[in-house]
Amino acid sequence: MSLTTVPDPRHSFRSAVAALDPGPLRDVLTAVAYARDEAARTGALTAPDERWRAVVAAAERAVTASTAPVPLRLVA
């Protein structure tokens, strides 16, 4: 019987998030990853409240950032 290595889906998620340009979406997804990873490390069913508060704070910053004016770019 041979053992096969199953890729860790958390690693795939972290790699995809790291490939994003810095910004609000990346911040929110990073906060989600930290919350999920902490729950996995501790064997809990869900992440602690402070991790979810960090996710909410990142989401609030993303919403605030998204209401900032976006410079108009003309593409020829």
Give the Cα separation of 27 and 54 in Å (integer): 10
> Could you tell me the pTM of the whole model?
0.63
**How far apart are the C-alpha atoms of 61 and 27, rounded to whole Å?**
9
> What's residue 18's pLDDT?
87
Flag whether pLDDT at 26 surpasses 60.
Answer: yes
Whole-number pLDDT of residue 10: 67
The domain locations on the chain are 16-66
pLDDT of residue 1: 47
**Residue 68: pLDDT above 80?**
no
> Looking at residue 71, what is its pLDDT?
66
The average pLDDT across 43-57 equals 86
Q: What is the pLDDT of residue 34?
A: 85
Write down how long the chain is. Answer: 76
Asked if residue 50 lies in contact with residue 34, where contact means CB atoms within 8 angstroms, the answer is no
**3-class SS letters over 37-57:** HHHHHHCCCCCCHHHHHHHHH
